[in-house]
Amino acid sequence: MAEEKKRIQAYLEQLKNKVETQENYGGEITNEEARMDIRDCPECGAGRAYHKGLTACAYCGFVFMDTKLTDGVNIRKENNS
């Protein structure tokens, strides 16, 4: 019985070491603070104006993204330029 106990302890120890050293898929999760960012038009430096849509620059026509936007949680299909 004592031997059994030892075996179990050894197994638990091994298991614990394993889970503590195991790397998670996708790496460690770092806690990030909330932040604000902006993507200017790299061609003319203008910001993206809401009523002109999000996919292209309203001033020089630079294309920010090729995707056609569909309805999502915060983005609507009206946001296409």
Partner 1 sequence: MFNLFNKKNENLALIEEMRTRQERWFVFLEKLEARMEEMNTAAVPELQKVFRQDTDPYKRAHIHMLSGLLGQINQMRNKANEVKEENIVCFMQEAEASLPSIISSAGSEYRRKLYTFRMACLDRHNVFEDKINHAISLLQGAAGEQDLESAYQEELAAFERIRDKFSCKQCGGNITIPRMFFIDTYITCPFCQSQNTFSPSTGARMVLHQARSLAEQRTAHLLRSYEASNPKNPDLYRHYLRCMFDEWNKIVPDMVVENEKFYERLINEYNINHHP
Residues at the interface with partner 1 (CB under 8 A): 1, 4-5, 8-9, 11-12, 15-16, 18-20, 22, 24, 28-40, 47-51, 54, 73-75, 79
Shortest spacing between CB 38 and partner 1, in angstroms: 4
Shortest spacing between CB 80 and partner 1, in angstroms: 13
Residues 30-64 as b/e (b if ≥16 CB within 10 A, e otherwise) read eeeeeeeeeeebeeeeeebeeeebbbbbbeeeeee
Question: Which CB atom, from 4 or from 66, has the smaller least distance to partner 1?
Answer: 4
